A and B are shown apart, each in its own frame.
Chain A
């Protein structure tokens, strides 16, 4: 019985271990989508310049050494600076690339909300124009003018 359990455990380990290793192994194709060719100003995936070829050789060498995707990207940053990353790092000044759109959206949403509130308040306050005023019907002045017109045109 113990022998059978050990055999199953060994078989399970033998099947799972290579899969786990393969999942962690970095891939040139994946990294090419995430880094730039600094000279071409395009994704490495799209670049065919001599510099791009050297960058691919460098990445492949690191992959062969067993480096992870993050380690390869760190090494590229050490060689070329932050600009080699297709997406800016989420720290320091580069963080503004992520924060500015969010802050701008929040400011726009807040401005819109304040505007709508003011418009509704203004509409309800003077008895003219706003949805609340329309729901309450015409003012006394309008009603008198309407009655006069109906009488004048004999409607």
Chain B
């Protein structure tokens, strides 16, 4: 499965310890797990604690990828989800972008209200917000930037 994933790793000489990754993921939900493991392995550079790396980063990336593949690119395997990751000294920054029309994150209902809590779906964005220190969408809503601060 990892044959379908294309990862580029750069270690800029001017910044010691910094790693930059670029990953292109075909819009296939079965690739999410492999993509997450690939990124996690390369981000294991001491910026995040092992616990935050293994839980927060992995879960947040899985959510962002699944949203981009399912709702953005509508599982069209010919379309790629582009992931850019910067593991710096102060934080890990992850940008996940798709080719979809985008959405307005303010219109996503609260999944914890009594009428929504027993629904099968609709928790992705809510979970994502709690896993990262900062989350920002572009104006179109088809690219999300996640920040996990060091520690």
Is B truly associated with A? no
B positions within 8 Å CB-CB of A:
none
Interface of A with B (CB < 8 Å)?
A: none
